[in-house]
Amino acid sequence: MSEKKTLPSFAVLQLSGCAGCEVSLINASEWVDKYQLVYMPLVVSTHTVPDDTEILLVSGGVRNDEDVYNLRRSTELVDQVIAVGTCAISGGVANLGDRDEVRAMFTAQDNRHHLPHLLPKSHPVDAFVDVDLYLPGCPPTPELFMAALSGPQDYQAGSTVCVECGREKLKEMRPKHLLGFQQGEVTPDICLINQGYLCVGSSTRGGCRAICTIPGHPCVGCRGPSNAYIEKESQVWFDRVQKVFERLTDIPPDEINRALHSPQLSLFLFQFADYLDGGRPPRLKEKVL
């Protein structure tokens, strides 16, 4: 038949997420004439993944029993599984719900008639199925989506966000306290750490082209740990961020330590959310784009 049939096919399974990953994929419009999109409820009215699909992108975390079922069923039908976005990779922002103070409020919602049954916490995809490639980011940029689809071998990126950011690190501009995230003016071209912002771009994997830090907002680490830390436990990462601050600022180590360990801090969501309970083996860096 038409040429369309011979294009490689991919499907997108949306679990519990915000659809930001899908929006980013739609932004990567170059796939339109290179791939055949066979399933993606956000944009296509088909209700199941066809069983000869080559690539399955999974976005969103596993939040309810229907997610588990759809995930298991769909991954059986495809050749390759790519987990996209922080939610699919670590459970994502919904991990904030995994605290005693709020868990009960959440599970109290689970008394509704024939609606999917809520799991007590949000899980990453690889808690249930094998994943061939991880595409971190909240969401991954269109460029990263294209790299994941067409094979990551040709993809080039800086090792960390710092490398891609280009703000200059100064030895002589040493703040004494953290400004937090947003308070105060941002000086162009100078490292946000020198200005007292809690930026973790120094240990976050590159690839996003530093889209937050260049306009002046600290990196919250949505791409997750860089290759230097991804296979290690979270303490190594904490120590490293701490060292960077010691080198560039006079902020008391205690203050930084406290800020980094706040369980509600957004950067926590992205870096080590699911490593915290210690149960999960780290992902191999070869499998992470």
Figure out which of the listed residues 40, 138, 192, 241 binds ligand SF4, where binding follows CB under 6 A. 138
- Is residue 20 close enough to count as binding ligand SF4 by CB under 6 A? yes
**Is residue 208 a contact residue for ligand SF4 (CB under 6 A)?**
yes
Size of the site for another protein (CB under 8 A): 70
- Judged by CB under 6 A, the residue of 11, 220, 248, 256 near ligand SF4 is 220
The interface mask with ligand SF4, positions 92-111, x = CB under 6 A, is xx------------------
CA 107 to CA 102: how far, in whole Å?
A: 9
57, 71 Cβ separation under 8 angstroms: no
| H-only helix segments in 91-211 | 100-107, 142-150, 161-165
**What does 155 interact with, of another protein, ligand SF4, none (CB < 5 to 8 A by kind)?**
none
CB 224 within 8 A of CB 270: yes
- The footprint of ligand SF4 on residues 163-202 (CB under 6 A) is 201
User: Considering only residues 139, 145, 245, 256, which one is a binding residue for ligand SF4 as defined by CB under 6 A?
Assistant: 139
DSSP character at residue 281: P
Contacts of 252 (CB under 8 A, 6+ apart): none
With CB under 6 A as the contact rule, the residue among 78, 223, 229, 289 that binds ligand SF4 is 223
CA atoms within 13 A on the CB side of 250: 6
Q: Confirm if 63 and 106 have CB atoms less than 8 A apart.
A: no
Which residue do the tokens 């870096």 mark?
271
Q: Name the residue nearer to another protein (CB basis): 195 or 202.
A: 195
User: Does 269 contact another protein by CB under 8 A?
Assistant: yes
Phi, psi torsion values for 31, nearest 5 degrees: -70, -15
20 forms part of the interface with another protein (CB under 8 A) = yes
Residues 6+ apart with CB under 8 A from 210: 161, 162, 164, 165, 166, 201, 219
Binding of residue 200 to another protein (CB under 8 A): no
Site residues, ligand SF4 (CB under 6 A)? 17-18, 20-21, 59-60, 85-87, 92-93, 138-139, 161, 201, 204, 208, 210-213, 219-223
